[in-house]
Each structure stands twice: as structure tokens, then as C-alpha cells.
Amino acid sequence: MKFISIFTKQYVKAVLALLLISNVAFAAYPDKPIRIIVNYPPGGSTDIIGRFMGVRLSDALKVPVLVENKGGASGMIGATYVVKSPNDGYTILHTASGPQAINVSLFKDIPYDPIKDFSPIILTSVPPLLMVVNASHPANNVTEFITWAKENKGRVNFCSIGPGTPSHLAGELFQTMAGIEMTHIPYKGSGPAIIDMISGQCSVLFDSALSSGPHVKGGKLKALGIGSKTRVASWPNVPTITESGLPGYEAYTWTALVAPAGTPKDVIEKLNKEAGKIIASPEYKELLNSQGALPGGGSATDLQNFTKSEIQKWGKIIRDGNIKPD
């Protein structure tokens, strides 16, 4: 009996020691620098938000958070790099809707699965797209534009910032829901598309407020609507496309933090908690307002479910329109 008692005490001590080690390991994360990979070049919305997140996460987690750009191949180079990184929470990705929800339907060979190969952390922003026309266009709202497009069948086009981009898919979704026909004219980026919008070569463009917004405020373009569920604080006088004549229409891009699949749950929860605090801060909301964007938030599960619904939504548009990347 004495032997059993001694054994029991030793067993309990061993278990307590393991629990203590486990708690120390949890408390230790993070104990070295974290890298945020941005899978787009510097200067864009995904990069700007990622860098803001990096600074604030560094303050919250008490370790350096380094932001590194790995752009190219429609965001797939950076995404693939993170997929192949250790799933220990020290290499994470700040990405966007293209690499996580569009590319899987747009490209034949994508080197990762946006659902199986990532552990979602949190949705960081939702920048809705502005529907803009030339300042002299006869339509002053969405309903008038749809009527005008039906009266000018065969002569209506829509510009986009490139094949398969949210700008392109937003136009395809619009003409499908509105029951109109428009010819797609792809450009290499917002700049060239906006130039032809201002000159009157394009009938309509769906573009980010960050790019087209200054030209709307400058009087060279006219915003007929915005592709969000509710009005955006930075554009209070621009109605949603839904309320302005096309119920149920939504078109936006979005950004999110994700990690390699298999990243420990406690690490994901910690990153989600700290990022969520940042997203709720007045400074972050001010940053998004300057870009015409809405804040994200929610749980990792919310992001997972949202990504799945986005893959389904835009995948249908891509398949139905037989859309190719170029």
C-alpha cells in the first residue's frame, strides 16, 4: 500500500509538471518575432492595412511583427509561401478576396486550397466597390442607368481593372441581376480604366473608393451607388446599389489574416483576440474610413464560413460567364 501511495504521489506530480509546462508554453507565445506576409506589392489597401495591423500587434504581443511583401501571380506567390511555412503562428498571411475566394475558380492550377491549407484568423476589412460613370452621363442613379442601358442595347460597355478581378466580377454580377447586356473592356489596373472613364470611353466602372473616390470628389466621375449592405460613413451621400435600384446586389473586396493549416487553436484564438481589439479601435476605423472601407471582425469560424460563401458566389459568376484570367 505504501508503494502504491508513493507511486500515486509521483504520478500526480508528473501530471502537474506537464500541466505547468503546457501553461508555460501557451504563455510563451509569442516569444520571438512574427512575420506577416502580404501577398501584394507595397502601397495597396492590403499592404496598408497589413502594416497597420503589424504595428499594433507588435504593441499588443510585445514582440516585433515584421511585414514582408511577396506579391505576384494574383496573390498566389505569397499565399503559397505561407502555406509551406511552419504552422507555429510565427508566419501568417494578410491576404485578400482574390487569392482566397476567386482564384480557385478562375485558374486551372492553383497551388493551394484556400480552405484546407489555411487556418483562418480574422476578417480585417471589407472595402465595397463604387459604381461610377462619367460626370456627364445622363443617369444619376442605378435605376436610371439600368433604363439607359436597356435603351442603348449593344452600345453599353463596362471597364474593369483586369480580367477576373473583383472589378470585373462586379460588372458581370450587375448585368446578370439587372437583366442588361454590357461588353467587358479589361484594363491593366485602376489608373488606365479611370482615364478612359473620365474621357467617356467607358460606360461604367466598378472600382475601389481608394482609386476612384478622389475623382468623384473632384467632379470628374459620378458615383451612382456603392456595393455594401449599408451606407459607408465616408460616403454618406452615396446610396447602396441595393437601395438605389438593384435589391440584393453586393460587390466588394475584402482582406483577412490567415495562417498555415494546423496552426494551434490557442495561437489562432490569441491572434484573433488581439486583432479584434485593433479592428474595434477608433484609429483603425479612421484608417478604413480614409479608404472607403468597412471594418471586419468576428471569429475564425466566421471567416471560414464567409470564405466558403464567397468561393461559391464568385465561382458561379466565373463559370456562368466563362471568365478566364486573360
Rounded to whole angstroms, the Cα distance separating 6 from 122 reads 49
- pLDDT by residue for the chain (326 residues), tens digit each? 444 444 445 544 554 454 444 444 445 899 999 999 999 999 889 999 999 999 999 999 999 999 999 999 999 999 999 999 999 999 999 999 999 999 999 998 899 999 999 999 999 999 999 999 999 999 999 999 999 999 999 999 999 999 999 999 999 999 999 999 999 999 988 999 999 999 999 999 999 998 999 999 999 999 999 999 999 989 999 999 999 889 999 999 999 999 999 999 999 999 999 999 999 999 999 999 988 899 999 999 999 999 999 999 999 999 999 999 87
For the record, the C-alpha cell of 7 comes out as: 507511486
SS3 283: helix
Domain 32-127+254-320 falls under CATH 3.40.190.150? yes
CATH architecture of the domain 129-226 equals 3-Layer(aba) Sandwich (3.40)
Q: Which residues on neighbouring strands pair with residue 65, listed in sequence order?
A: 34
Rounded to whole angstroms, the Cα distance separating 21 from 233 reads 48
Total length of the chain: 326
Which of 207, 221, 291, 272 shows the shortest CA–CA distance to 53? 272
Q: Domain segments of the chain: what residues?
A: 32-127+254-320, 129-226
Q: Give the pLDDT of residue 10.
A: 54
Q: Is 172 exposed, middle or buried (0-12, 13-18, 19+ CB in 10 A)?
A: buried
